[in-house]
Amino acid sequence: METIVSATNPQANIAEIPRSARGWQFVRRFAHHPGALVGVFVLLVLIVAAILAPYIAPFDPTETDVGARLSAPDAMHWLGADLHGRDIYSRIVWGGRYSLAVGIATVLLALVIGSSIGIFLGYVGGRVDAIGSRLIDVLLGFPSVVMAILVVVVLGVGLVNVVIAVAIAQVPRFARVVRSAVLVTKEQLYVDAARAIGASGWRIMARHLLPNVVPTLIVLGTLNLGEAILSTATLSFLGLGAQPPTPEWGAMLNDGRDYMRYAPWMMFFPGLALFLAVMSVNLIGDRLSQLLDPRARQR
């Protein structure tokens, strides 16, 4: 049975339920959605495979084998081999470490910087907020991948720089959404109360505003994770991210480009891994959005 939360004051009803029960209730509500379950399952498979890569990958992902060059999938190379005879299955499993880790690192970096800026602007308000918000608007005007490419051109190629580049491209989004959330939250009575007992601005931001925008951040972070994974792969596909012989999925797609007609598995399987990762993250993000976003929850 599903607990019905008051549409007019959801916080009031939730507060009456013990914390542990609330957690289970949340999990049950999350699991109620089959798409989200599929997303969790696929993402878990990819993460576990990446963690266990040294044990489940039959070959070294960088080991070349001239004899196996462009081999079609068979009993030895389950997903075929690339131009250098490297095992594609092993490269995909190892590549998950790069693609997923870089995506997560990117979102975390963007989340920390973006939410800090958003909370600061939203709380301080006035002219600082006006100028900061206009700057964010300007940055949002740039397509994020173009912005990331510009940053990589300045910083140089490589996965670390890709993390920084994609994070910088995502910061304005986090800042804008968090600022909006803070504008609502800072008008709450408990914030006035904290101010009245002499709490400093930094304390109010850290202890009272931040916890209240966490649900928003979780939703936004999850929804942006898929895009971060794709942006990272895009930059690697363009030759700006992972460098040879790193088995990153975007770089693998690029490796297979010229051989699409003769060895389609070189592009198909890394593309499939990328698709599954982004799809699973988006499915999870959508469900979290339904459960945690107050507006969505009220619908």
Per CB under 8 A, residues contacting another protein are 62, 64, 66, 69, 83-85, 153, 156-157, 239, 243-245, 255, 257-262
Integer Cα distance of 212 and 186 in angstroms = 10
In the complex with another protein, the residue whose CB is nearer, 102 or 152, is 152
Question: Is the Cβ of residue 78 or residue 259 nearer to another protein in the bound state?
Answer: 259
Amino acid at 166: V
Nearer to another protein, 82 or 286 (CB): 82
One-letter amino acid of 68 = A
Least distance (Å) between residue 245 CB and another protein: 6
| Cβ closest to another protein, residue 169 vs residue 263 | 263
Tell me which residue of 76, 101, 103, 100 sits closest to 88, measured CA to CA: 76
Separation CA 21–CA 288 (nearest Å)? 18
**For another protein, which is the closer residue by CB, 4 or 154?**
154
Bridge partners, 87 (sequence order): 81
- Contacting residues for 124 by C-beta, under 8 A, at least 6 apart: 201
Q: Say if residues 111 and 176 touch (Cβ distance below 8 Å).
A: no
- Output the CA angle 145-102-96, nearest 5 degrees: 115
Spatial distance between the Cα atoms of 139 and 164, rounded to a whole number of angstroms: 15
Q: How many CB atoms lie within 10 A of CB 263?
A: 21
Q: How far is the CB of 233 from another protein (least distance, A)?
A: 16
- Shortest Cβ distance from residue 252 to another protein (Å)? 12
Residue closer to another protein by CB (options 203, 257) is 257
Across 86-118, b (16+ Cβ under 10 Å) vs e yields bbbbbbbbbbbbbbbebbbbbbebbbebbbbbb
Nearer to another protein by Cβ, of 26 and 259: the residue is 259
C-beta of 64 vs 116, nearer to another protein: 64
CB of 64 to another protein, least distance (A): 5
CA–CA dist 196, 106 (Å, integer): 38
Contact 79, 265 (CB under 8 A): yes
Residue 102 Cβ vs another protein, minimum distance, rounded to whole Å: 17
Min separation Cβ 246 and another protein, Å: 10
| Side-chain half-sphere CA neighbours of 7 within 13 A | 4
| Closest distance to another protein from the beta carbon of 159 (Å) | 12
Minimum distance of another protein from residue 38's CB (angstroms): 33
